Structure 1
């Protein structure tokens, strides 16, 4: 594991002589390439066994062992992290959005949500969440959908589907293994008429979500490269992935 360099971020707020409010609280992206922010600690106390940063527009994968907790940090703020989950030993068992939502009878993912597989089994549980809700119905962008929505001038932009295929290939996964995904930190409200929107995010720099693995779980992340709608504030920024061994058994507050 590479050593982690932190950047102190002191918070100061003051008025200038001409009455302008100046604050060091970050607005938008606030990071240095290769250096995670100091506030990116695990949500669940414990020994850190993995701490890696996912570059903007890039992909990441890793196996989170049963009982370990994965904390995902939105380093710059309003950065969507598209996510797929698989049984690490039998990848035909994978995350199922329909099973997850049907079991909890709710359209959103929140603290206490059990992320279930296509066999109805628990893969991971959300044991910490610093924003109001997480999305699992907005899907993943792709070259094809970008071209259809935004025009042929963006057809060269890769999307989350391409990231999933690239990262999944490292684990023997292909097109047939790409299913409905989770979108961490993405704001997809359900309107009164049932329509879905992709609107400005409700996350902020340093916001986190924590997932406890119930079985050994292969996690695929696409640090969303989308630049044509507000899901990433039109400015993709890094994510930070922290895997920890909890100090004690941690129960989610449902």
Structure 2
């Protein structure tokens, strides 16, 4: 039986506007629930094992082993050691991508103009790369430790000529995605614009974040049973947790 997320205990909630960054160590068994209130958000995210920061999210393995180009409900997020870090248990956004990476200072200045914190304070234009670096530094990590990230609430399409383009969202309405933490994770995220967004104005976003208890994994779990590779990933988790992690 699946409980409604509103019925589980709320441990924490916050709202992030655009251009912000955030990080937290989260224990396995929690549900990280994100809602894009305005229908135009980008939440870039990476994951690390807080007990061994060398283990981190691996985008190529995540996509390859599940035979997919985009991520949605039923998919898992893999570490570079073949373990399931998190599972997508609910998705009303229709898919998310993990190939486009981040904006950087130069791309943001070219597209939106130059604004600095020194001159514009909270109205400055932060970029995704630098936002990640600020959070990484809090845990002794640096640019060399930054893997390919997930961009939640955005997905890419391949055109006939092989070019990659950002999928246009026609109807701007609230969308949500829920992640079940299947390992203890250090989660690092930012809310800077997607690197392929073709806006002339730095977007205004509103992302609600809630931490609740996730439903326990059952034998008929959608994510675990999506493919043989996912079942092996959860078996790797089981063996790992036998060691007390």
Higher relative contact order (CA 8 A, sep 6+): 2
Q: Which residue of 1 aligns with 2:222?
A: 252
Q: 1:162, 1:90 → 2: CA distance?
A: 23
Q: Does the Cα contact within 8 Å between 1:47 and 1:246 map onto a contact in 2?
A: no
Please list, as runs of the form range in 1=range in 2, the aligned pairs for 1:65-214 lying within 5 A after superposition. Answer: 65-146=27-108, 150=111, 153-154=113-114, 157-201=125-169, 204-214=172-182
Q: 1:163, 1:57 → 2: CA distance?
A: 8
Provide the secondary structure at the position in 2 that maps to 1:165: helix
Q: 1:104, 1:232 → 2: CA distance?
A: 36
> Is it true that 1:215 corresponds to 2:183 in the alignment?
yes
Q: Which residue of 2 aligns with 1:51?
A: 13
Residue 100 to residue 231, structure 1, CA distance change in 2 (3 Å): farther
Q: 1:8-67, CA deviations, whole angstroms, 9 ceiling, x for partnerless residues? A: xxxxxxxxxxxxxxxxxxxxxxxxxxxxxxxxxx85741111111123211111122111
Q: Does the Cα contact within 8 Å between 1:83 and 1:222 map onto a contact in 2?
A: yes
Q: Which has the higher helix share?
A: 2
Unmatched 5+ stretches in structure 1: 1-41
Between 77-86 and 195-204, report the one with greater CA deviation.
Answer: 195-204
Q: 1:77-104, CA deviations, whole angstroms, 9 ceiling, x for partnerless residues? A: 1111111111121111111110101110
Q: Does the Cα contact within 8 Å between 1:88 and 1:217 map onto a contact in 2?
A: yes
Displacement of 1:191 after TM fit?
Answer: 1.7
Q: Which residue of 1 aligns with 2:243?
A: none
Residue 164 to residue 220, structure 1, CA distance change in 2 (3 Å): same
Count of matched residue pairs: 211
Displacement of 1:173 after TM fit?
Answer: 1.7
Unmatched 5+ stretches in structure 2: 117-124, 227-245
Q: 1:242, 1:68 → 2: CA distance?
A: 10
Displacement of 1:179 after TM fit?
Answer: 1.3
